[in-house]
Structure 1
Amino acid sequence: MIVKETKLKGCFVIEPKIFNDSRGYFFESFNQKTFNELTNQNVNFVQDNESFSSKGVLRGLHFQRGEHAQAKLVRVIKGCVLDIAVDIRTDSETFGEYVALELTQDNKTQLFIPRGFAHGFVVLSDTAIFSYKCDNFYNKGSEGGIIFNDKVLNIDWKLPEASLIISDKDLELPKLKDAKL
């Protein structure tokens, strides 16, 4: 497993070691001990989630506040997504900056997103199955978000805005400057 910290402190790209042969492939998608050692994090994941989406579906940018904040380890099982993590830690040198990474069924790359980040993704393939681990349980009262097209963030979602499929709830999210962090 290769672990590289992104420009955003505590946010890591994780590339697994894949073993291919005539039968297919095998890789270890998660090992708590190895993860903790290579990231220097002590994360205990308590919930796994999975979503299926069609091309152009944009989910995000979401986060949980306060004691219900969540760290996430995200990956794609099928298809391809552009995954986005935005640093919303107000005391961070990189507040308001983001990382963008294509996660695919072929590269099997994962992104670890620590607490204090907003997260979202858009499906670039015909369909995608997206999977993620969380280190805290979801709490409706602590959910927050940032509108996907905030001009200050200036995220290139790689698809024309008119082709995006976004929930009504996500279309009503505030800009970063107005978000309750």
Structure 2
Amino acid sequence: MNAFPSNMTAASIEACRRADQPPLTPGSLRVLVMMQEMKVGQDEHYVAFLDLLASHIWEAGDATEILAQVEGIIREARAPKAPCTVHAWCVETDEHFGHYSECIEAPSPDQFGNPVLPAGLTDFRGTTTVGLLDLDLTPAEARVRIAELRTHLDNVEALVTAAEASAG
């Protein structure tokens, strides 16, 4: 990779070109200088992105096509996606074969900040399963587990009531 300090000019940037790289167009030199200026005060991920982009410009010698490719990627990412035509709950878009719902979780994380009781739906090959308690359950099996959890929470609430009574 061609490395140079952020205060370099177009002429000094061109001097950093390796012999096996094509000459840089004047526009590419301006883009590389601007990219160096854009790095100032940015986080490491943004700087790494700019470095990657710059390396492609160095290899091509012309920024026009590289920047057009990046613009195409950004436009594609921002383009509205077609919703799933199989399940209303599926968050996947455009053509896809595995269907996934949004993952829901209890509103209270555990002591480490991890989600408690995450759950979601999946459908592969026409069979919808409920992901709950790290298991893939049929809807009927999920209802049994939910009933067990309700009973457990009733028991937990009874413990809380007992604690309140003894705190008296």
Report the TM-score range of the alignment, normalised by the length of the smaller protein.
under 0.3
The structure with higher relative contact order (CA 8 Å, sep 6+) is 1
Larger of the two Rg values belongs to structure: 2
Relative to its length, the structure with more strand (as a share) is 1
TM-score, normalised to structure 2, is 0.25
TM-score, normalised to structure 1, is 0.24
